Every structure is written in structure tokens, then in C-alpha cells.
Chains A and B, each alone.
Chain A
Amino acid sequence: MSAELLRIEDLHVSFSTRGGLVQAVRGVSLDVMAGATLGVVGESGSGKSVTAYAVTRLLDRAGRVTGGQILFRGRDITRASAGEMQGLRGDYIAMVFQNPRAALNPIRSIGRQLMDALAVGGDRSRAALRAAALELLHAVLIRDPKQRFDAFPHEMSGGMCQRVMIAMAIAREPALLIADEPTTGLDVTTQKTVMDLLARLTAERQMAMILITHDLGLAAQYCGEVAVMQQGEVVERAPAARLFRSPQHAYTRRLVAASPTPRSTVAELVGAPPSLPFVPPEQPSGTPALLEVQNLTKRYGDVLAVDDVSFSLRAGESLGLVGESGSGKSTISRLICRLIDSSGGDVLFRGEDIGGLPARDFHASRYRREIQIVFQDPHESLNPRFSAFDCIAHPARRLTGITDGAALRSLVEECADRVGLERGLLSRFPHQLSGGQKARVGIARAIAVKPRLLVLDEPTAALDVSVQAVILKLLDDLRRDEGLAYLFVSHDLNVVRMMCERTIVLRHGRIVEQGDSDALFANPGDDYTRQLLAAIPHFDPEAAGGYSRRVPRTRGS
């Protein structure tokens, strides 16, 4: 039964770049049995995607297999001709990509695209193709397949697009499905439906699956075996349960520790000694809250992005805003930073109404300095033409009034030290910095002007889990030392629980539930919160027990 389907032996892949030859994959050996599921886990640059692209021979032109073999049913793919490869792809090996919207043809209806995929190599009639395409849409749980048949990709949500991609991939019943970060960029609840679907389809049709992901929990939950990659090498491979319960390799241990679970603390993520629970400083009675939001509303055309939201935040406190895409959490953070104008409601800062000032003029307000923001994508939020130094120095010069070059330099260097950015890196441009370094620049920029309220808009969403752990620890320390108040926006409930004393759950622009973080996660009062919690993939069964419901293993390991 369990015949060997794919065997990768000592695979080497190199990319020729301006800096010379870069070895992306260095001696990877893996094998996949027919019908089995293998998770390949690693951080960016680990070579996990390159390995997959080598198997399907979709490496871009700069990349080349420089050594080793990829045997599919005993035949070496690296030596197959382009024509043979064409037949192999789709019929035997299919791939599901990370960004479904980009992988689908935007000007062809999804039904047509499915028919195209089905038509290759066969001579079935149009009616038969259409019937088969409808059946596939049905199989991937698209509601009303007949009506959806003529829909275009832009008319569908990200999760639906990914289901169509999956339908295309399984159209010709391949023996091996390679899913490259299939749910990255999707909401947790959508991720769960897509992954459950993938697991069910591959099990029903006896397809083998290679799941490439950066998410340990996802791999643990959906794969029998997991291989961990680091810098182009497989450092550890074991059945999922064993790998996460007793990781052998130092890197795997670090990765497992850095992944937030329902019980971990910020200190545990980086292996630091536990820090005391943080208690925000007591304010003398009668002090107005640092931030008071009353009946805040934001309307875009007919859509209510933020619908009657009220909450308050004391000095030194950390408040989490969680929700899926479209919940209005980013809009709220921009409203509070006064980057956009509200359609109604008040924003009071230290008792003063700042919501009345138009966003256009807020840059000149004295509160501009006190409310700062750290953006989601550290790369996208740094001016490509500014060095790291200028990125930090510019707002500091504007808002603190320091114009003296030497004073400014020492301020910037102090902030760089504070966020753990080497001073030598200050002269570099954003594209010359790693994701973690860019995140540090973004944080240094915000704290350089000594704000009282820091809005963190998904500050770690674009980072690898080990980098995320370090940045979260940094943010936690900063808050303790500087007495900053945080409004922490995130889609990751585990992160919010660790970072915030109180949490607000948002859905469709409305507050679903709010309260003390630990209590809220232990005993969610609303069904939606429970759904969100249940959808988070876990690798730690014990910790997962901390939540009210445990997600069943889809496939045994």
C-alpha cells in the first residue's frame, strides 16, 4: 500500500545573483509515501519553497538544480525534458500557491478556468467538462456552484479563490499535491475551513500532500510527519506529535519555544527568565483616561467600517484589538492616530477632544507627538529613499524641535540602542535590512518622539516567528520601562493575550466582546470569540486544553 511516491536525494539548488552564487537548498533529502502528508516547516529563506519549486520544475531562471536527484515514482525529474514535465505537472503533481488571487486568471470566469484545467490532455465534450467542473466546485464546498460558475476571481473572497485553486489542482486527480503556504493571508476561521477541506480531499482521493508552511501549529495539526528546514537544510524530521513534544535539534527547540501558545508568556518565547506581571501605575483619582473613545463611527460610502465603538485606555495600559479582516481594527487605529477623519463620535485624549481636529491639520497639533503608530509591514512603512537614520531622525526633528545635528544624532543612536538595532546599520537603506531590523527601525521611529500612546497595527504580522518573539519581548520591555500605553491591533489572539491586560473582540466594525484578556480567552462569552479561538492551530495538546474546545486531528500521525 504505502509505495514510495517521491524521493528527494541530496538536492542542491543555487541561484545566481549579483553577489555571486547563492546556495538556497543544500543537500535536502526527503521522501513521501503515496497518500501520506508531509509538512515542511521553516522561516523565510530556509529553502522550503525553493525545494517545492524544484520538484515541479518551476524555479525561476536564476535558479538551477546543481546536484542530487528528485525521483517521482522512480523517475528522475531533474533530467526530464520540458515536454515530459508538462505531462507530469497537473496529471501527477499539482500545486496550490500562496496568493490565490494572483494565481487565478483575472479575466476568465472560474468555471472556464476549471474547464481549461480539466480539458488538458483529454477530449471530453464541453457538456462533460462543465459537469465535471461543477462537481469540483461542489467538492470544494463552493455554495451555489451553478451561479458561481460564471463569477470572476475579483468577485470572490480570498478563501473562495483558494478553494477554486484547490479545485483546479485536484482536477486531474494528481498523486501528489504541493501546497505552498496555502492559507497565509487568510483569516484564521477561513484558514481552518480551507485546511480542513484540503485534508479531507487528499484523504478521500488518496493523494499525498506536501504542506509548506511557516506555521508550526498548522503543520502539526494537518501533517503526519514534519520536516524542519533551516538555511537550505533539513535539520530534523519526525512524526508531528513527537517533533513538537520533544524537539531534538536546537533550532527546532527554539522555533517551538518562539511560537505563541495559549499559555506562553512573552519571556518564554525568547527563553528569558520570567518577568513579573505588569501593573499599570495608579493614577490619582479624577485624572481623565489617556484615551477615551465614544461612539466612534467611520463610513465608507454605504459601508460602515467602524460602527459605534466605545472604549477607554488608561496611561500605561495595554489594550488589544482583535478581529479578522474587515473587522475595522486597522480603521480604528488610523482614526485614533488621526490619520483619517471619523464620520461620527468623539476621540478624547487626556480629556481633550482631538477628534474634532481635521486629520489634515493634525500634524501641527501638540498631540501629534504623543500619539504614535507602528505599522504592520515594516518594509512598506519605511521610505525607500531614506536611510534608517533619516527614518528615525525625520519625525524626531519635526516633533521634538531638536535641530542641532549632534543632539539629533545622539537621540537617534540612543533609540537604536533601545530597540537593539546596531548603530552601524543606521546608514543602511530599508532594502538592505532584514525584516526584524526594519521592524526595529519602525519602533525606534515611533519612540524617538517620546509618545504616551503607541498604536501597534499588527507590528509582527509580517515577521518570522522567531523574530516576532524577539520584537514582542522588546515591545513588552519598552512598555515597562517607559510607561507607554499600547493599543495593540492583531489578528493573532495568542499574541494579544500575552501583550495586553484587556482585549476587545471586533467583528464587522462592532465590538463583540471586551474584558480582561485572561478571563476572556478562558471563558469567552460570545460564540464568535469561541469560533476564533477554536480556529487557531495548535501543536501543544496540553496548552490547547486551556481553551474550551480542542480541534480534532484531521489525520492521525
Chain B
Amino acid sequence: MSATLHHAGWVLRSNPVTAIAAAGMLVLLALGVFAPWVMPYNPIASDVAIALQAPSAAHWAGTDQLGRDIFSRLIAATRLDLAIAASAVGISFVAGAVIGSFCGYRGGRLDRAVGRVVDVLMAFPLFVLAMAMVAALGNRVENIVIATAVINLPFYIRFARAEVNVRRDAGWVEAARAGGEGHLSVVLRFLLPNILPSMAVQISLNLGWAILNAAGLSFLGLGVVAPTPEWGIMVAEGARFISAGQWWLVGFPGLALMLAVLCFNLLGDGLRDILDPRMRT
């Protein structure tokens, strides 16, 4: 464990971009976890008397059309958006990695059948598919998670399948079988851990993309409903005021969204270096 930490330290030191991305990530995570304690105001308490105020010392990011503190709402939204993205990616990663590895390992008819289903899924415009799912299942946060997970699934299946496929005939897999491991155990205990480093990159990139997806759905009025603070809704609501010069309503949530996605994307490569034991010398 300490070796891993030591190695992580080395990767971060020699790669400042990863370090910055990791720091940004930590800040976002901390904001999400401690949201109820760090929010200066109640994010849904309106006070029309102070509506549409520009950023000031009292309200760092200004106030919206109902006089709610935008900074507090941003923090509350961080929590919600990260939770949606993490659970959606978590579901598609676990399901995709397991299905994909078994297909890649077994090959044959099962593999071809799953492959065709994946092809069909990927032939849909994915965002439209997600919209349709949320519309059909109902405007709820859980349904955003499910929809995002489903449209991500094909990528994980394909990825895991390809990664397992190239390792299927490796000497250490044969050695594991000579060592008495059954097929199930070979896939779960030997192959899956070995494809984790490259999947970590995928996960990180995917988290950013899932945040965008959730925000996009909410922006269109699907999923999260007002007055729940969420970046997508905030951008949608604030867009009306941009022509009047009240840029902070849309500017800050947009900025938060952009920074979060950027952090996840930049983190991807660094994460692979940290997780791959071969990079440790």
C-alpha cells in the first residue's frame, strides 16, 4: 500500500498536469461530500428582495432571479452531479467489465451474440436514447443514472472484451489454469485486475462525459426538476438572463461544469500510470 502511495506521489510530481487535475478533483469531491456544511446560504431559500444581484462579497457568485445564492447552489449541485456521474459510471463499469471479459475469454457464439447487441445499441444516437429512456421511465434522478449507465455500457463491454481478448492466451493465464483455477476465477481474479489500469483511463474520461450527459438531460428539462440545484438546470434557467447582461446566472454553473469535465479528462492518463504496477520500477 505504501508502495502504491509512494508511486502515486512520484507520478504526480513528475506530471504537474495530473497533479493539478487531481487537486481540482479533490476540491470538487470535498465540496460534494461536505456540501451541507460549506454552503453559506440555503440553496433553495428564495428572497426576491435580493434577486439578480451581481457577484459581491456577500454573494460570491451573485444571486438568481429568485434571490437564491448561486454559490451555495453550485456547491449543492456538485454533490448531485458527482453522485449521478459516479453511480452511472460505476454501474456500467461493473456490468460492462464482467460481461465484456466473459465474452472476450469465452469467444464463440455468446461473444458474437453480445457483440451484435452492442453494435445495435451503439448505432442509436446515444443522447436521444437516454432522453427517450428518461421520458419513458419518469423524470427522476434514478432514471438519469439508469439511462446514462445503459448508454455507456456498450463502450465498457467492447473495451473489456478487447483487452481480455489479447491476454486470453498469455502464459500467465495458462499458468493459472495449470495452478487449478477454474474459468470463472481466471476471469475475475486474473484477467479483470489486469485490465483495470487501462479501464481506469476510460472511467475517468467517462465520468466527465457522464456529468455532461446528466447536465444535458436536465438542461432539456428531463430528469432533475427545479428547484433542485443542478448545473444543467441552472444553465437552462440562467440562459434567459444572459441577454440582459446578467452573465453570472449562466457563467458560474457553466464554468463549474467545464472545470469538472476537464479535471476528469486530465486525470485519466495519470490514473493509468498510478494503477499499472509495471510503471513502478
Indicate, yes or no, whether A interacts with B: yes
Binding site for B on A (CB under 8 A): 18-19, 334, 337, 339, 360, 363-364, 368-369, 371-373, 375-377, 380-385, 394-395, 398-399, 429, 431-432, 442, 445-446, 449
- Contacts A385-B193, A431-B277 known; list 11 others, CB within 8 Å: A19-B281, A363-B177, A375-B171, A383-B190, A394-B176, A395-B181, A429-B280, A431-B278, A432-B280, A432-B281, A449-B179
B174, A375: Cβ atoms under 8 Å? yes
**Residue in B closest to A455 when the chains form the complex, CB atoms:** B178
Q: A363-B181, A383-B190, A395-B180 known; A445 and B175 CB under 8 Å?
A: yes
Cα distance, A385 to B4, chains bound together (Å): 13
A380, B179: Cβ atoms under 8 Å? no
Which residues of B lie under 8 Å from residue A431 when comparing CB positions?
277-278, 281
Tell yes or no: B58 within 8 A of A by CB.
no
Tell yes or no: B272 within 8 A of A by CB.
no
Q: A363-B181, A364-B182 known; A385 and B277 CB under 8 Å?
A: yes
Which residues of B lie under 8 Å from residue A360 when comparing CB positions?
183
Tell yes or no: B65 within 8 A of A by CB.
no
A330 to chain B, nearest CB (A): 11
B194, A383: Cβ atoms under 8 Å? yes
Cα distance, A144 to B280, chains bound together (Å): 51
Give 24 A-B contacts (CB < 8 Å), ordered by A residue.
Answer: A334-B174, A337-B178, A339-B174, A360-B183, A363-B181, A364-B182, A368-B180, A372-B178, A373-B175, A380-B171, A381-B171, A381-B174, A382-B171, A383-B175, A383-B176, A383-B190, A384-B277, A395-B176, A395-B180, A395-B181, A398-B179, A429-B278, A431-B278, A445-B175
Which residues of B lie under 8 Å from residue A368 when comparing CB positions?
178, 180
Interface size, chain B (Cβ < 8 Å): 20
A381, B179: Cβ atoms under 8 Å? no
Pick the contact of B171: A364, A376, A394, A395 (CB < 8 A): A376
A339, B281: Cβ atoms under 8 Å? no
**Residue in A closest to B275 when the chains form the complex, CB atoms:** A385
Sort A-B residue pairs by CB-CB distance and give the 7 closest, nearest first.
Answer: A395-B179, A381-B171, A398-B180, A380-B171, A383-B172, A399-B180, A375-B171
B179 to chain A, nearest CB (A): 3
Which residues of A lie under 8 Å from residue B281 when comparing CB positions?
18-19, 431-432
Which residues of B lie under 8 Å from residue A394 when comparing CB positions?
176, 179, 181
Tell yes or no: B170 within 8 A of A by CB.
yes
Which DSSP category, helix, strand, loop or mixed, fits chain B's interface? helix
Pick the contact of B181: A19, A372, A376, A398 (CB < 8 A): A398
Which residues of B lie under 8 Å from residue A449 when comparing CB positions?
179-180
A349 to chain B, nearest CB (A): 14
A146 to chain B, nearest CB (A): 38
Q: A429-B277, A432-B281 known; A381 and B180 CB under 8 Å?
A: no
Chain B residues 50-99 with CB under 8 Å of chain A are none
Which residues of B lie under 8 Å from residue A446 when comparing CB positions?
178
Cα distance, A335 to B193, chains bound together (Å): 28
Cα distance, A449 to B171, chains bound together (Å): 19
B273 to chain A, nearest CB (A): 11
Cα distance, A431 to B172, chains bound together (Å): 13
B172, A381: Cβ atoms under 8 Å? yes
**Residue in B closest to A371 when the chains form the complex, CB atoms:** B178
Most buried by A among B179, B190, B280: B179
Cα distance, A394 to B175, chains bound together (Å): 11
Which residues of B lie under 8 Å from residue A334 when comparing CB positions?
174
Which residues of A lie under 8 Å from residue B180 when comparing CB positions?
363-364, 368-369, 395, 398-399, 449
**Residue in B closest to A378 when the chains form the complex, CB atoms:** B171
A381, B193: Cβ atoms under 8 Å? no
Chain B residues 166-222 with CB under 8 Å of chain A are 170-172, 174-183, 190, 193-194
Which residues of B lie under 8 Å from residue A375 when comparing CB positions?
171, 174-175
Cα distance, A373 to B170, chains bound together (Å): 14
Cα distance, A375 to B172, chains bound together (Å): 9
Cα distance, A442 to B174, chains bound together (Å): 12
Chain B residues 128-182 with CB under 8 Å of chain A are 170-172, 174-182
Pick the contact of B175: A369, A381, A385 (CB < 8 A): A381
A13 to chain B, nearest CB (A): 20
Which residues of A lie under 8 Å from residue B174 when comparing CB positions?
334, 339, 373, 375, 381
Cα distance, A449 to B181, chains bound together (Å): 13
Cα distance, A195 to B195, chains bound together (Å): 42
B194, A445: Cβ atoms under 8 Å? no
Which residues of A lie under 8 Å from residue B190 when comparing CB positions?
383
B183, A382: Cβ atoms under 8 Å? no
B211 to chain A, nearest CB (A): 30
Cα distance, A377 to B193, chains bound together (Å): 21
Q: A18-B281, A431-B277 known; A382 and B179 CB under 8 Å?
A: no
Which residues of A lie under 8 Å from residue B171 when comparing CB positions?
375-377, 380-382
Which residues of B lie under 8 Å from residue A376 when comparing CB positions?
171
B14 to chain A, nearest CB (A): 8
Most buried by B among A18, A377, A380, A383: A383
**Residue in A closest to B175 when the chains form the complex, CB atoms:** A381
Which residues of B lie under 8 Å from residue A18 when comparing CB positions?
281
Pick the contact of B172: A337, A369, A382 (CB < 8 A): A382
B8 to chain A, nearest CB (A): 15
A339, B177: Cβ atoms under 8 Å? yes
A363, B182: Cβ atoms under 8 Å? yes
A397 to chain B, nearest CB (A): 9
B120 to chain A, nearest CB (A): 30
Which residues of B lie under 8 Å from residue A385 when comparing CB positions?
193-194, 277
Contact digits for B20-37, partner A, Cβ 8 Å, 1 yes 0 no:
000000000000000000
Cα distance, A376 to B280, chains bound together (Å): 25
Which residues of A lie under 8 Å from residue B182 when comparing CB positions?
363-364
Cα distance, A357 to B174, chains bound together (Å): 17
Which residues of B lie under 8 Å from residue A384 when comparing CB positions?
172, 194, 277-278
Cα distance, A360 to B170, chains bound together (Å): 17
Cα distance, A371 to B193, chains bound together (Å): 27
Which residues of A lie under 8 Å from residue B175 when comparing CB positions?
373, 375, 381-383, 395, 442, 445
A45 to chain B, nearest CB (A): 15
Cα distance, A475 to B183, chains bound together (Å): 30
Which residues of A lie under 8 Å from residue B176 when comparing CB positions?
383, 394-395
Most buried by A among B172, B177, B194, B277: B172
Most buried by B among A337, A360, A398: A398
